[in-house]
Chain A
Amino acid sequence: MINTGLAAIFLWAGLEQGLGKLLDHGLSLLPPAWRTWATIVVLVGVMLGVFASLFALSTLLERKGLGRMQNRLGPNRVGPYGLLQPVADGIKMLTKEDIVPRGADGVVHFLAPLVLFAPLTLSFAVLPYGRHWVPLNLDAGLLFFFAAGSASELAAFMAGWSSRNKYSMLGGMRAIAQMISFEMPLVVASLSVVMISGTMSLAAIVERQEAWLWIFPKWNVFTPWGLAGFGLFIVAAMAETNRSPFDLPEGESEIIGGFMTEYSGFKYAVFFMGEYFGMFAVSGLAVTLFLGGWNAPLSFLPASFLWFFAKLMALVLVFIWVRGTLPRVRVDQLMNLAWKYLFPMTLLNLFVAALWHYTAVWRAPGGLALRWVLCFAAIAVPCAVLARAMMRSHKWAPRVYRFGD
């Protein structure tokens, strides 16, 4: 069993190399002027294809998984075990009538899904999928990622504003407030990685994590600051991608569909896909920053882009699990979480990362354990104190009106 698994992994790694060589060879046959364009076409095609199929897969996984968590069956009518459900959904979405409200601002209403979708595909370009599968290795890849991703706020607000619908407007406002608030902890949480790695190139960050402790990997998540940073990053990422329990901008039960209320058919599908693509993008970034990217989980296994996608899908499953478990938070709770909890904790995490970095010279026996205890306490104690302070019950007093009485 284990042997077959190992054989399969090594076979895949070989295949992956072969595929890469084949692609390189094929490209080298083209005239030099065409090579760049051909590379771009191949990369864009592969990326869109892979992520579109991951999107289909994860919608199915989400519906099946949520169903199982609620002791339901989930979709099981289309194809064996409901596997063809995404196809049916896709056909349904594409053949639906595209309704634009009479009072809507047509151009902005039309552009909003595109403005959401296009920058997300841009942010896919800088993610390092495998050692030789980095579409665009920028020196400031992380910066580019956040710069491209920040357009999604604009898209949500464009959609909310142009629909001329109070629910859309409310959703748009909520989206703006939430995304801007959570962008801060998201960026600062990833800054700790930049601090330790000393680079903003995502491929280089993965290469820095290519170290082993006996057979175990030394990914960033296996350090105190990395563990805390990863947790903070994931919470912020959930809010940033409007995933439950932070799905206030959509909030089906309170504001119908938020900024997506007035969208239907293909435009709605693009919004929906954009949401999942956003989830893939931040999950991919989390994998890159904290979970060692393309590196194998054990030292004797070959590196492959399969590991990247396995980790990414594992994170997506965690997102689904969270959605199946936690109820939606209130707006004030959301803002408190961002500004009073996540943001101070991520700032503190920068100092913990520095502490970890500067205590690396302690070579004495037990030094590593001491560093762990020290750094872990430095993050865990303030975390507990802060959480306790935030949960302290408020004293409610009768409301006093200054002018109204």
Chain B
Amino acid sequence: MFGKGIIKGFIETARNFAGSYHDPARMVTLQYPEEKRALPENSRNFPFLVFDGNDPIKGLRCVSCKICEKECPPQCIYIVNERDERGKPLKHPKIFDIDISVCMSCQICVEVCPFDSIKMDQAYELSATERFKKLILHKQDLAKSNDYYHRIHPTEADAVDAILEAERKQHEAKKSAASSETPPAKQ
């Protein structure tokens, strides 16, 4: 019969209309600022620095080796070593800046870091009105706890923790073996 397709169309839209009121599965709209979709575990955008313990600055895993700075393709990482009074470099950064307006989210810094101290973040509400002040993240903005890392990437964080734990044990075993063979030269 002619007109069958049109009638079918009308029934379909009527069902959509009625269904949208009682069938939540139909409604895919997420009212964004109020509701947020849980991000997939592997989603990532910009790097952050992991710290252990309670002090975000003292607990940083970063030893300021500058490998990430050298590897970063768009050169968005800037690191300055902390130095003691005699000018001897210490094993933590004085300045650690990432310009996220330049960062291209390639994750190479994460891959090259030997200390598992730089990881990818998921925070995406980063819009700012001033590029040069708000989009350059400093050490304080970048430092986030290991707990946070566990929250956003649970599987990856567990694996990292296991590796770090194994390394620590190996290190201790080596140390104790060394100390049992030869006494420490000086205290």
- CB < 8 Å neighbour of B20 from A68, A325, A384, A391: A68
Known A-B contacts A387-B2, A387-B3; A321 and B14 likewise in contact (beta carbons under 8 Å):
yes
What is the CA–CA distance of A68 and B27 in the complex, to the nearest angstrom?
9
Main SS at interface, chain A = helix
Interfacial chain A residues near B10, Cβ < 8 Å: 321, 325
A171, CB-defined interface residue at 8 Å:
no
Task: State whether the Cβ of B17 lies closer than 8 Å to any Cβ in chain A.
Answer: yes
Q: Does B13 contact A (CB under 8 A)?
A: yes
Set of chain B residues within 8 Å of A388, measured between Cβ atoms: 2
Complexed CA–CA distance, A384 and B17 (Å): 30
Contact with A along B2-40 (1 / 0, CB 8 A): 110010011011101101110000111101000000000
Q: Give residues 298-322 of A contacting B (CB, 8 Å).
A: 321
Q: Is the CB of B28 within 8 A of A71?
A: yes
B17 and A326 contact, CB distance less than 8 A:
no
Q: Which of A321-337 contact B (CB under 8 A)?
A: 321, 324-326
Known: A321-B10, A325-B10. A70 touches B16 (CB 8 A): yes
Bound Cα distance from A388 to B31, whole angstroms: 47
Q: Which of the four size classes fits the interface of chain A?
A: 10 to 19
Q: Tell whether A72 is near chain B: CB-to-CB under 8 Å.
A: yes
> Could you tell me if A326 and B6 are in contact, using CB atoms closer than 8 angstroms?
yes
Among candidates B13, B28, B31, residue contacting A69 with C-beta atoms closer than 8 Å: B13
Chain A residues whose C-beta falls within 8 Å of the C-beta of B12 in the assembled complex: 325
Task: Compute how far the CA of A391 lies from the CA of B2 in the bound complex, rounded to whole angstroms.
Answer: 9
Knowing A384-B2, A387-B3, say if A69 contacts B17 (CB, 8 Å): yes
Contacts of A65 in B (CB 8 A): 17
Find chain B residues with CB under 8 A from A42 CB: none
Query: Would you call B26 and A326 a contact (CB within 8 A)?
Result: no
Q: Cβ of B27: which chain A residues have Cβ within 8 Å of it?
A: 71-73
Against A, the Cβ 8 Å flags (1 = close, 0 = not) of B71-104 are 0000000000000000000000000000000000
Q: How far apart sit A70 and B9, CA to CA, in the bound complex (Å)?
A: 12
Question: In the bound complex, how far is the Cα of B5 from the Cα of A325, in angstroms?
Answer: 11
Q: Are the C-beta atoms of A68 and B14 separated by less than 8 Å?
A: no
Nearest CB in chain A: distance from B61 CB, A: 44
Specify the chain B residue showing the minimal Cβ separation from A388: B2
Q: Note all chain A residues with C-beta closer than 8 A to B28.
A: 71
Closest to B20 in A: A68
Query: Which 7 pairs, one residue from A and one from B, show the smallest C-beta to C-beta distance?
Result: A387-B2, A69-B13, A68-B20, A325-B13, A325-B9, A71-B26, A68-B17
Q: Which residues does B use to contact A, with CB under 8 Å? A: 2-3, 6, 9-10, 12-14, 16-17, 19-21, 26-29, 31
Provide 29 A-B residue pairs closer than 8 Å at the C-beta atoms, listed in order of the A residue: A68-B17, A68-B20, A69-B13, A69-B16, A69-B20, A71-B16, A71-B20, A71-B26, A71-B27, A71-B28, A72-B20, A72-B27, A72-B29, A73-B27, A73-B29, A73-B31, A321-B10, A324-B13, A324-B17, A325-B9, A325-B10, A325-B12, A325-B13, A326-B6, A326-B9, A384-B2, A387-B3, A388-B2, A391-B2
